[in-house]
Amino acid sequence: MEHTLFIELSLIIAIGTGIALLMRILRQPLIIGHIITGLIVGPTVFNLVTDNETLTIFSDMGIALLLFLVGLGLNPRVIKEVGRVAVLTGVGQVIFTTFFGYLLVSALTDLSTTATFYVALGLAFSSTIIILKLLSDKKEQTRLHAKIATGFLLVQDIIATFALLFVSANGSGGLNAEDLIELSLKGLSVVFLLYIFTKYLLPLFTKTISGSQELLFLFSIAWGLGIGAIFKQSGFSLEVGALAAGIALSQFSYAQEAASRLKPLRDFFIVLFFVVLGSQLDLSNIVEVLPIALVLSAFVIIGNPIIVMTIMGLLGYTKKTSFKTSLAVAQISEFSLVMLLLANKSGQISSETLSLMTVVGLITIAVSSYIILYDEKLYVVFEKNLDVFERRKTKPENKKQHFNEMLLFGYKKGGLEFIKVFQKLKKNFAVIDYDPEVIDHLETSGINYLYGDMTDLELLEEAGINHVKLIVSVVTDFETTKFLLRTIEQVNEKAVVICHADSINEAAELYEIGAGYVMLPHYIGSEKIGAFIKKNGLKKSEFRKFRDKHLAYLQSHFNEEKENDA
């Protein structure tokens, strides 16, 4: 069995790599490639997977790690920011989609009342895993629309948990109030114990955990998977538990470091999730159910976003934020397929109904992946038609865009000196960096920051690059610096840009692109000592004063860095 699992896993990875390479060459979403891999290795084509249970466990680990990392990126401020809209949008969308879906399914089919309701409810749930993976690939997790989408998708997951309980109980005779009360009490108990542990006990071990990278890595895995397992054992979903585990750690100093170390592991296991999902898709009755599946898919792809845009428009959000957020509900969830599969096993729906929803799932997952990938271009196309979803008075959603007068790209290798200058000038500024340790220090120091790569155009837009007066980059990568300069020249010609170069040729090229001043570290010291000699001559006593002043400065700088590292 062990050798069989090893061979199966090796074949899946090999086939998955080949399909992923093909998707990359064709410039298609990798998620589509992973699902196609699942179809190939599953019973639909070659039927290479025999140990489904073990592979499913691996995929569950991917889900848990993905949601755990999402939780690490959240904190009470984010929850407070999007909590209200997430709850109203999540609950509202499920209610309205189920209602209109029920009417549509009733008109298209002759299914029983129970089966019709299950299908309608299945159309209401959207895939948290797929959306978070797409947002992660696009590096948009920190955008407002991504925060709201994450919030209401998790609200959906909580509703889906109760829906699964209802389907299971209905298949065995019915659901009573005692079951709901018991589930609610379990949930409250687990959340309370988690709060007590992270509030009073876990801080005692903070230095021990963060002092060893290996221990931090192991602790993070144990915490994320362990809390997820406890929630699942209590009757809730693995997703909700893993998210709660991440949120519980999000305020600790080592949260970002833990996240950065877990990302490669998450990426491996989440690939297996999509492969397993593809291998479980049943396409045996595809021809018979395809016409109805296309209509229901259109309802999900078009109708669900319209419902979300309507709700968010009434709440005062701009049409762009509403549009980009609404695309997160343009597919059905793996929860929907699990719920229908459970209903089928208990005899509440037929195999044909299950096949119908499987095809809807495949169509909507594929189409929504492209929609989210090209959301900016789609918004440009539909922008004029979206005014109906926007109130005259909208929420101020992009305060940062008009907040910063100065931006600093990079912190290490001289960034600290510029921060001191900015603070003395009493100007609003932000630091942009992608080093988790730097971000942790900036947050602890109360310095305004954005986490990300300066080649991310939407991150630059969020930082307000169109309006800043001064941009300083201590980033040493020449190509990245050229990209930044060209971008600034296109959107903000008035901005003064100070950047870094390693040679005279590089400096000349950066000046030609539009740099205001190029720092050449090898020449700055020579310029400074040359100016000193011109001013003070060759008196050794003056050199001693200059040396003592420089040593005091270096010692002060060293002490600050030592405190930061501690």
Q: What is the 3-state secondary structure (H, E, C) of 2-59?
A: HHHHHHHHHHHHHHHHHHHHHHHHCCCCHHHHHHHHHHHHCCCCCCCCCCHHHHHHHH
* CATH number of the structural domain spanning residue 425: 3.40.50.720
Residues linked to residue 108 through DSSP beta bridges, in sequence order: none
CA 425, CA 407: separation in Å to the nearest integer? 13
Q: Last residue of some domain: 389, 423, 449?
A: 389
Q: Is residue 560 one of the residues assigned to a domain?
A: no
Q: What is the rounded distance in angstroms from the CA atom of residue 320 to the CA atom of residue 456? A: 19
CB-CB contact of 313 with 390 (8 Å): yes
DSSP3 helix / strand / coil % (the chain, rounded to 5): 75, 5, 20
Structure tokens at 332: 């059905």
Give domain status of residue 376, yes or no. Answer: yes
pLDDT of residue 308: 92
- 407 lies in the same domain as 349: no
Q: Is 289 helix (H, G, I), strand (E, B) or coil?
A: helix
What are phi and psi for residue 105, nearest 5 degrees?
A: -65, -40
DSSP string, 493-542: TT-EEEEE-SSHHHHHHHHHHT-SEEE-HHHHHHHHHHHHHHHHTT-HHH
Contact criterion met (CB below 8 Å) for 260 and 440 = no
Domain encompassing residue 467: 399-519
Count how many residues are written for the chain: 566
Q: What does each C-alpha distance from 158 to 161, 187, 237, 238, 374 come to in angstroms?
A: 5, 11, 7, 10, 29
Q: How many domains, the chain?
A: 2
Question: Which whole number is the average pLDDT over 489-507?
Answer: 87
Separation of alpha carbons 398 and 389, rounded Å: 19
Residues 347 and 463 in one domain: no
Q: Are residues 82 and 130 in the same domain?
A: yes
What is the β-pairing status of strands 470-473 and 406-409? parallel
Please say whether the dihedral angle defined by the alpha carbons of residues 552, 558, 564 and 566, taken in this order, is positive or negative: negative
Gyration radius from the chain CA atoms: 27
Cα-based torsion angle of the residue sequence 366, 367, 372, 376 in order, rounded to the nearest 10 degrees? 150
pLDDT of residue 394: 60
Look-up of token digits 């609950």? 91
**Same domain? 192 vs 302:** yes
Alpha-carbon 138 to chain mean position: 8
Is residue 553 one of the residues assigned to a domain? no
Indicate whether 376 and 287 sit together in one domain: yes
| Pair 379, 412 in one domain | no
Q: 380 and 407, same structural domain? A: no
Does residue 81 have a pLDDT over 50?
yes
pLDDT in tens, 171-214: 555 556 676 677 778 878 888 898 898 888 888 887 788 777 78
Based on the fold, state whether residues 325 and 434 are members of the same structural domain. Answer: no
Q: Look at residue 445 in the predicted model and tell me its pLDDT.
A: 77
Same domain, 373 and 417: no
Residues 406 and 465: beta-carbon distance below 8 Å: no
Q: How confident is the model at residue 105 (pLDDT cuts 50, 70, 90)?
A: very high
The whole-angstrom separation of Cα 374 and Cα 13 is 28
Bridge partners of 472, per DSSP, are 408, 498
**The one-letter amino acid at 128:** T
Each residue of 431-457: pLDDT tens digit?
A: 888 776 776 677 677 788 876 677 777
Residue 537 in domain: no
d(CA 87, CA 164): 20
Could you tell me if residue 90 is inside a domain?
yes
Q: Give the Cβ contact number of residue 299 at 10 Å.
A: 21
Residues 357 and 435 in one domain: no
Listed residues 357, 389, 421: the one ending a domain: 389
Judge whether 270 lies within some domain: yes
- Tell me the per-residue pLDDT of 374-417, one tens digit each, with 9 for 90 and over: 888 898 889 888 888 887 666 555 444 445 789 999 887 778 88
- Verify that 238 and 338 share a domain, yes or no: yes
| Long-range CB contacts for residues 374-379, cutoff 8 Å, separation at least 24 | 375/323, 375/324, 375/327, 378/323, 379/320, 379/323, 379/324
Q: What is the pLDDT of residues 332-375, one digit of tens each?
A: 987 787 788 778 777 888 878 878 888 898 889 889 888 988 88
Q: Is 526 domain-assigned?
A: no
Q: What is the pLDDT of residue 401?
A: 41
Q: Do 246 and 68 form a contact (C-beta atoms < 8 A)?
A: yes
Percent of residues, the chain, with pLDDT higher than 70: 82
pLDDT of residue 501: 87
Same structural domain for residues 431 and 368? Answer: no
The pLDDT assigned to 402 comes to: 43
Q: By three-state DSSP, how is residue 73 classified?
A: coil
